[in-house]
Amino acid sequence: MNAHDDVRDDDGLSLVELIFYVVILGLITTGIAVVFFNTWKAQASVSDQVDATERGQLVSSQIEKAMRNAVAYKITDPTLTASGSTGSTLVVATSMTGSNACMAFSLGGGTAQLATTSGGAVTPAPWPTWQTGITAHKTSAGTSVPFFAQVGTDVSYSFDVTSANGPAVHFEGTAYLRNPTWGVRPGGGSQTCF
Any domain includes 47: yes
CB 167 within 8 A of CB 160: no
Any domain includes 191: no
pLDDT, tens digit (0-9, with 9 covering 90-100), for 121-130:
888 777 888 8
Any domain includes 27: no
Any domain includes 188: no
pLDDT at 181 over 80: no
CB 85 within 8 A of CB 149: yes
Q: Side chain identity at 151, as an amino acid letter?
A: V
pLDDT at 26 over 90: yes
Domain count, the chain: 1
d(CA 45, CA 173): 25
Expressed as residue numbers, the domain containing 39 is 34-175
Cβ neighbourhood burial of 192 (10 Å; 0-12, 13-18, 19+): middle
Strand partners, 81: 84
Any domain includes 12: no
| Range 137-152 average pLDDT | 88
